[in-house]
Chains A and B, each alone.
Chain A
Amino acid sequence: MSTTYLEAIREGLWEEMERDPNVFCIGEDIGEYGGAFKVTAGLLERFGARRVVDTPISEAAIVGASIGAGLMGLRPVAEMQFADFITCGFDQIVNFAAKCRYRWNAGVPIVIRSPSGGGIHGGPFHSQNPEMWFVRTPGLKVVCPATAYDAKGLIKSAIRDNDPVLFFEHKALYRKIKEDLPSEEYTVPIGKAKVVREGRDLSIITYGAMVWTALEAAERLAEEGCSAEVVDLRTLMPLDRDTVCASVRKTSKALLLHEDTRTGGMAGELAATITENVFEYLDGPIVRVTAPDTPVPYSPPLEEAFLPNAEKVIEKARWLHRY
């Protein structure tokens, strides 16, 4: 039976709550309503209000209370209704949670789940990709799954991790992608990228919903005789530099792709990683395909122009291939 990305996350939560009585969920409208996107639907009925805690509209309290509960040995999984509102709990995340272990050796085993990303006509406040605010905060782990398999395996690993994990769920994938998941239990390790398509001529390195864009582009590029490899980072922090560098060593060309805006985006860090480690293998400049440095616009033609898509990837890939 095939499982959607959304159901995969729910299954992961469910299994971890069955496995460990210290795991509980906390957030706005997550109980009876099952969450704005219905990820937590059914959890209240199964696990009760003690373990599925509905909160007031108070993101700082959701994160802060998660930290407190985490310090006491519980394993909270907090939900932000939209990733955009994570700003309201920002201080708790980047100053409190992120720095506890380094400062006073206190582990904060919390997961913060946030639906992020555009392509749903959500406008500037329901479409953002805020992962880099956290990637550049030492002490936090940042996970951005692209597939149902990884979403389930990574949410389970995130819950078991003893450090704070930001778990970004691309909302455009929730019901769009499906796959058959193994019936036996599995986890996916945090910090490991994956080559999701083998290729010879260039590497498209990406994560999140853009993995699907990269695969679509690679398929079409193959018809033109350009063999593109696609690397899905899966975790942005800690970054699997080895897999990135191995791919570039093999193809000698790198196209870095993300839905997040350009300046200060993941591509910059990847470009530096590649030049530091495998510069002598490069046969062409590193190229980026990203959203431009603007807020996410609402009107369809503007949002379409804003978001990277297969066309834009193919155009850059062709140029790089010929280089």
Chain B
Amino acid sequence: MSTVHASGAEIHNAAPAAGTPEAELAHKCLHYMLLMREVEDRIERKLYRQGKVLGGVYVGRGQEAIPVGSALVAQADDVLFPTHRDMAVFFIRGVSARRVLAQYMGRVDGVTRGRDGNMHMGDMSAGVVSLISALAATVPVAAGVALAMRYKGINGVAFSYFGDGSTSRGDWHEGVNFASVQKLPVVYICNNNQYAYSTPLNLQMACANVADRGPAYNMPAEIVDGNDVLAVHEATVRAAAYARSGNGPYLLECKTFRMTGHSAHDAAHYVPQGLFEEWGKLDPIVRLEKRMLDERWAAQVELDEVHASIARVVDDAVAWAEQSPYPDAATLLDGVYESQ
């Protein structure tokens, strides 16, 4: 399900394909997927192990196509609600890798100035609302953001992200039902990575797909290949257009796989042998690169240069974050209220 259909002529000629909108989109997708992969790898495999990132670390390895393909569709006025596996949303909305790394290290230049850690961050000026840990708590809030958009005459869309397991929460159902009744402009983006912590889908829901929940709310629901970034992008374009036109919410279920344990301290022994290997073959970055080469949107040397430049960006970001000071303990009481 891609927007791109290369003609035979293009396949034989790299030059014309390279500058097309399809090629540009692919390059953008690759950039953000690689940036997310690299930042998360540094956090989980280096900084966490070195004791420079403390507490819980959750990554979206193998799922990068979902935040990237979808958030690239968002317009300036749109508001996004990423989960703990959607780091790329921040990069796409202009939050730097430096500040994200400082956030993970609890430094004063982190997005929450050390008040919170990991993906628990938000910035209304970037149109990103912070999650709270309680799963699906963002779903009713997304309905409220969408309500306010309509109220104020903003032609925006709320992008509400969640995992498969989060759809079991009452908050999820209340938020989705309300948005459906009110025909609010919300795009729901589910990363169905087939696990919620150790809980497999069959213990989470009695239906086969998260998308099966759509009809109960009279809401269109689509199943998307969540490891194909261009497919995610194309589906999100469709969903956002539907929501933006006042038709109500739209659900995208992006099928994927969590290529890690639930968090850095979970070895995921409960995942049957072979699944990681099987899904590893569907890695969204590898797939996009292959597509880019096949379609002649890029040559191998260019891809190598993208990898190298991402590594440099992340080296710089880690160094910058490490130099950011810890917050001063004297500021502990500040900011509970606007004025104290």
| Chain A residues closer than 8 Å to B136, beta-carbon distance | 57
| Chain B residues closer than 8 Å to A201, beta-carbon distance | none
Q: How many A-B residue contacts, CB cutoff 8 Å?
A: 117
Q: Are B332 and A123 in contact (CB under 8 A)?
A: no
Q: Are A305 and B329 in contact (CB under 8 A)?
A: yes
Give residues in B with beta carbon < 8 Å to A: 54-56, 106-107, 110, 112, 114-118, 120, 132-136, 165-166, 168-171, 196-199, 203-205, 270, 326-329, 331-333, 336
Query: Which of B110, B134, B196 lies in contact with A84, CB distance below 8 A?
Result: B134
Q: Are A302 and B134 in contact (CB under 8 A)?
A: no
A84-B134, A302-B332 are known contacts. Are A56 and B165 too (CB-CB below 8 A)?
yes
CA A99 to CA B331, docked complex, whole Å: 42
CA A87 to CA B137, docked complex, whole Å: 11
Decide yes or no whether A264 CB sits under 8 A from chain B. no
CA A156 to CA B166, docked complex, whole Å: 33
Q: B53's closest neighbor in chain A, by CB? A: A121
| Chain B residues closer than 8 Å to A300, beta-carbon distance | 54, 106, 326
| Chain A residues closer than 8 Å to B326, beta-carbon distance | 299-301
| Chain B residues closer than 8 Å to A61, beta-carbon distance | 168
Q: Are A293 and B336 in contact (CB under 8 A)?
A: yes
Q: Are B134 and A85 in contact (CB under 8 A)?
A: yes
Query: Which of A28, A36, A294 lies in contact with B333, CB distance below 8 A?
Result: A294
A292-B333, A299-B106, A305-B332 are known contacts. Are A125 and B132 too (CB-CB below 8 A)?
yes
Interface SS majority for chain A: loop
Q: Are B203 and A121 in contact (CB under 8 A)?
A: no
In whole Å, how far is B199's beta carbon from the nearest beta carbon of chain A? Answer: 6
CA A298 to CA B116, docked complex, whole Å: 5
CA A312 to CA B335, docked complex, whole Å: 23
Q: Are B114 and A298 in contact (CB under 8 A)?
A: yes
| Chain B residues closer than 8 Å to A125, beta-carbon distance | 120, 132-134
In whole Å, how far is B268's beta carbon from the nearest beta carbon of chain A? Answer: 10
Q: Could you list 11 examples of A-B contacts with CB < 8 Å? A: A32-B198, A54-B199, A57-B136, A57-B196, A61-B168, A122-B55, A124-B116, A299-B114, A301-B114, A301-B326, A302-B115
Q: Are B329 and A304 in contact (CB under 8 A)?
A: yes
Q: Are A54 and B203 in contact (CB under 8 A)?
A: yes
Q: Count residues of chain A with CB under 8 A from any CB of chain B.
A: 39
Q: Are A57 and B168 in contact (CB under 8 A)?
A: yes
| Chain A residues closer than 8 Å to B107, beta-carbon distance | 299
CA A238 to CA B114, docked complex, whole Å: 38
Decide yes or no whether A308 CB sits under 8 A from chain B. no
CA A156 to CA B269, docked complex, whole Å: 31
Decide yes or no whether A95 CB sits under 8 A from chain B. no
CB-CB contacts below 8 Å: A289-323 with B: 292-295, 297-302, 304-306
| Chain B residues closer than 8 Å to A81, beta-carbon distance | 197
Q: Are A58 and B170 in contact (CB under 8 A)?
A: yes
Query: Which of A57, A123, A297 lies in contact with B135, CB distance below 8 A?
Result: A57
CA A89 to CA B196, docked complex, whole Å: 19
Q: B108's closest neighbor in chain A, by CB? A: A299
User: What 8 A-B pairs come out closest when comparing CB atoms?
Assistant: A299-B114, A125-B133, A299-B106, A56-B168, A33-B198, A305-B329, A121-B55, A121-B54
Q: A86's closest neighbor in chain B, by CB? A: B134
